[in-house]
Structure 1
Amino acid sequence: MPSEFSGKHVTVAGLGVSGVPAAKVLHGLGAHVTVVNDGADERARTQAAELEALGVTVRLGDGAASDSGSAAGLPEGTELIVTAPGWKPTKPLFAAAEQAGVPVWGDVELAWRLRGHGGRKAAPWLAVTGTNGKTTTVQMLASILAAAGLRTAAVGNIGVSLLDAVTGDTEYDVLAVELSSYQLHWAPSLRAHSAVVLNLAADHLDWHGSMEAYAADKGRVYEGNQVACVYNVADRATEDLVRAADVEEGCRAVGFTLGTPGPSQLGVVEGLLVDRAFVEDRHKNAQELAEVSDVNPPAPHNIANALAAAALARAYGVPAAAVRDGLRAFTPDAHRIAHVADVDGVAYVDDSKATNTHAAEASLAAYEPIVWIAGGLAKGATFDGLVEGAAKRLRGAVLIGADRALIREALARHAPEVPVVDLDRTDTGAMPQAVREARRLAEPGDTVLLAPACASMDMFTNYNKRGDAFAEAVRELGA
């Protein structure tokens, strides 16, 4: 049966994790697909060869989006653009599309529109976004849903293509979907069953242009929600986004808090995760869901992630026992407040994933006293608020990376009594030295915490490599 894409001229902007599946799916639906990609490195050439073998046109390198026969920079005949989420809205290609009246979708928008294609079940989406904690929350949610006996998967902005989930052979009951602000920007018709914005802090402002635009794109996740808009009681901005959303009749605002929950909230009471939202007579009753000790690890921000996941699962009708069982079964990814080892009475914790100040703030709040290993690429961040809030917890600090001076200066202003070791090097060998210096500063009962508050690319390929280097250096201490 011909699809709505049969014979349609579609330009896919960008290769990578999202672009290649989009091109394949569209080609399989009968579209005339042209892929344009700024880069022309070995990976791009390999992906291009794979697509060209199927009959897809691929153009690589600067200026790939235009051709001599095109109008206003669009590949000739383009009727739709499907973009990789990382392409900025300021790209000339999108200005040309707007001028020509050509719609621009992201891969998430395409996946949303293809739900139920070919007679497949259109599984509802439980959507998660926020500045930090998205992946962990989505994985917790998928674990809870699976514990309830539901066919599910953690998909979206975590390396698993949503397109594969909605067009593949497996029919899911419900999907746990991680969505970035980039993806939400390009997904105008997305309407989730229920959704959460975990938190909001300045991030990716170079892409969005302003904090207001960034928040607005995050808030798109609430548009058209059917059952619950879940928000963070401790982060008023997330509740404001709920208030601004246009939702279906009967959709409820549900908060999560690390304190005692009020009606229509989930929270913590005497070491228990409890639900006062999805129970009968929520003004008088509460349902025990799990113990705090069921959350791995039970750091405050991770408990918040667990409550958000539980709220979405409960919105879908999951029983309390499945929340407990799912949280117990969940194993966090590497480099997320991961305990590496205890050496001479000192705990060593790897939170290399804390690549911005908001994530590092949550990590620093989980331990005391701390010898803090920090630094890297600041990406325009400032550190005064982070240091001021953590000062009383710090035994010492070891600084690495290209922008370490920014953290050193914040420490001098707000924690002048804290000893600081400034390692004037940005090679990968700095990490073993940093761990040795941290060991020298630490005392039994302390935590040496790698929570860089910065990106890793000045020294390492990615935050995973940075965390691996830390863990290896710690293991060498105990050898």
Structure 2
Amino acid sequence: MTVDLNQLDRTTSWEGVRVVVCGFGVSGFAAADTLTHVGANVVALDERDDDGLRERATLLQVLGADVRLGAGSTASLPPADLVVTSPGWPPTAPLLVEAASSGIPVWGEVELAWRLRVEGDAPWLAVTGTNGKTTTVQMLDAMLRAAGKRSVAVGNVGKPIVEAVMDPEPYDVLPVELSSFQLHWSRSMSAQASAVLNLAPDHVDWHGSFDAYAADKGRIFENTQIACVYNVADPETERLVRAADVVDGARAIGFTLGVPAVGMLGVVDGVLADRAFVAERQTAAAELATVDDIAPDGDHNVANALAAAALARAHGVPPVAVRDGLRGFRLDAHRVAEVATVRGVRYVDDSKATNTHAARASLESYPHVVWVAGGLAKGATFDDLVSATHERMRGAVLIGRDRALIADALRRHAPEVPVVEVDSGETEAMDRVVDAAATMAQPGDTVLLAPGCASMDMFANYAARGDAFAEAVRRL
């Protein structure tokens, strides 16, 4: 049959539409479930096979989907009118290459969610960047809720976007965190307001180059309706705004830790000030909150709060709700979370710092640090990070597959910093990490897990890595 995908949304029947879902993780399951619900013929594929996946598969098979798990399940592409890919699948994956060469559209879950929307659905306030995405989206969600909006953080954090779009009780607005993987497959999205927080090399192995990574981040600005929010301290984010094809009337809104110019948000004498969404912005500013309202402190969190405030203000949130949202906000676990103080030494879990940009921001928050780092580097280098922060380092404890990259950067740029490497294969590796760090640390120091790397060489995810660190600290 001939299928016009442009005519389909959540209110129409997808009967007869053949959809192959590649990947059966959280977003893949949500996509397959939703597509089954609207009547599509769904085949879901994943090379993995475990109890959790089989449980999900059983549920969808009862509903009529065909779920194929285990080795060989992705060897060939079943007949399809549409392929929906999970964000972890690179565009070089053979099934996705086969689909593209056959003229079969390939969407991500973000594209699917946007296509399912109908007129009048909740607008999207979209956030991306190398670091700070989750914190910013959760700050934004807190501001929206403080304004009385029915809101939920979705996308790369929290609820899958398709679940929110399909929710029978409509949301007023959706704060959406988007990774570069998700944006790579996005074409139709038109956010009410969007933000790129910062850009630093990350996932270069997936995208092929930093330029390709930045270009995918920049997709968030395409078709933005009201405000494109950029970081004044990061010129590349403004360049992406200038290059974007936006809806007529959309404005470029900067955020800065300094005094804001007209059309920006910034900081004046410890006050977050808005000179973008006020009537008399040439001569006046709206007071939104104070730096003391932001927890935990640190310049990077002030920047996150300003970006969230810009998006909230673009949606019409009043200043008092920005303030109340920030005052009630608390970071999730594994984001600069203080675990304990043992013999005068603080132990901090920032396992979410999975790239060098995030690790540097974390290191710069403490004067004297024993740095716990390592894992999967994802194509990153550590020279700039070490050069910028080595004077704060009392020592370093390195773990994971790519720990030699960090050790080499420390040897070249900080030979005075003592380094201990812990073999990934050792029993209770994190106990050895914490013991080694405790030996180096002095009272008043911070032992900081800010790995600068992904976790999957040793742990299920960054949360499991942070949990292992916290448990080892408690045993100490």
With the length of structure 1 as denominator, give the TM-score of the two structures.
0.92
How far did 1:430 drift? 3.0
- Could you tell me whether the CA contact under 8 Å between 1:426 and 1:458 is conserved in 2? no
Aligned equivalents of 2:458, 2:100: Cα separation in 1? 40
Structure 1 counterpart of 2:14, which letter? F
Alignment partner, residue 18 of structure 2: 9
Q: How does 1:260-279 map to 2 (within 5 A)?
A: 260-279=259-278
SS at match of 1:335: coil
Gaps of 5+ in 1: 67-72
After the TM superposition, which segments of 4 or more aligned residues of structure 1 sit over 4 Å from their partners?
A: none
For 2:11 and 2:313, the matched residues in 1 are separated by 39
Q: Is the 8 A contact 1:231 1:242 kept in 2?
A: yes
Following superposition, the deviation at residue 65 of structure 1 comes to 4.6
1:49-64 paired onto structure 2 within 5 Å: 49-64=58-73
Q: Residue 43 of structure 2 contacts residue 68 of structure 2 at CA under 8 Å; is this kept in 1?
A: yes
> Structure 1 CA distance, aligned partners of 2:188 and 2:40?
21
Q: 2:375 maps to what in 1?
A: 376
CA distance 1:288–1:13, shift in 2 (3 Å): same
Residue 37 in structure 1 maps to residue 56 in structure 2: no
1:21-74 superposed Cα distances (whole Å, 9 cap, x missing partner): 2222222222222222233333333322221111112233454356xxxxxx54
- 1:56-455 aligned at under 5 Å gives the runs 56-65=65-74, 74-76=77-79, 78-116=80-118, 121-424=120-423, 426-427=425-426, 429-455=428-454
- TM-score, structure 2 normalization: 0.93
Q: CA deviation at 1:459?
A: 3.1
3-state DSSP of counterpart to 1:334 = coil
Residue 159 of structure 1 deviates from its aligned partner by 4.1
Query: SS state of the match for residue 96, structure 2?
Result: helix
Mapped to 2, the partners of 1:64 and 1:212 lie a distance apart of: 33
Letter of the aligned partner of 1:33 in structure 2? V
The 1-side partners of 2:379 and 2:97 are apart by 27
1:4-34 Cα offsets, whole Å, 9 max, x none, are 5222222222212122222222222222222
Across the aligned residues of Structure 1 and Structure 2, the Cα RMSD in angstroms comes to 2.0
Aligned pairs, how many?
A: 467
Unaligned runs of 5+ in 2: 1-9
Change (3 A) 1:411 1:111: same
Matched residues in 2 for 1:293 and 1:259: separation?
Answer: 16
Q: Which of 43, 49, 57 is the aligned partner of 1:48? A: 57
Whether 2:30 is the aligned partner of 1:21: answer yes
Tell me which amino acid in the other structure corresponds to 1:281. Answer: E
Distance 1:35 1:476 in 2: 43
Are the counterparts in 1 of residues 136 and 304 from structure 2 also a CA contact under 8 Å?
yes
Counterpart Cα distance in 1 of 2:73 and 2:417: 52
Deviations 1:277-301 (A, max 9, x none): 1122223222221111211111221
* Kept after mapping to 1: 8 A contact 2:204/2:379: no
Alpha carbons of 1:107 and 1:400: their partners in 2 closer, same or farther (altered >3 Å)? closer
Residues of 2 paired with 1:366 and 1:110: CA distance? 39
Residue deviations 1:230-262 (CA, integer Å, cap 9, x gap):
011111111111010000111111111122222
Name the CA distance, whole Å, in 2 between partners of 1:432 and 1:10. 47
Amino acid at match of 2:440: L
Deviation for aligned residue 1:425: 5.3
Deviation at 1:113, TM superposition (A): 1.4
Asked if the contact 2:49/2:69 (under 8 Å) is kept, the reply is yes
Q: Aligned pair in 2 of structure 1 residues 473, 166: CA closer, same or farther (>3 Å)?
A: same
Give the direction of change, closer, same or farther, for the CA distance of 1:27–1:440 in structure 2 (3 Å limit). Answer: closer
Identity %: 62
Question: Cα distance 1:460–1:29, how it changes in 2: closer, same or farther (>3 A)?
Answer: closer
Does the residue aligned with 2:36 lie in a helix, a strand or coil? helix
Residue identity matched to 2:93:
K
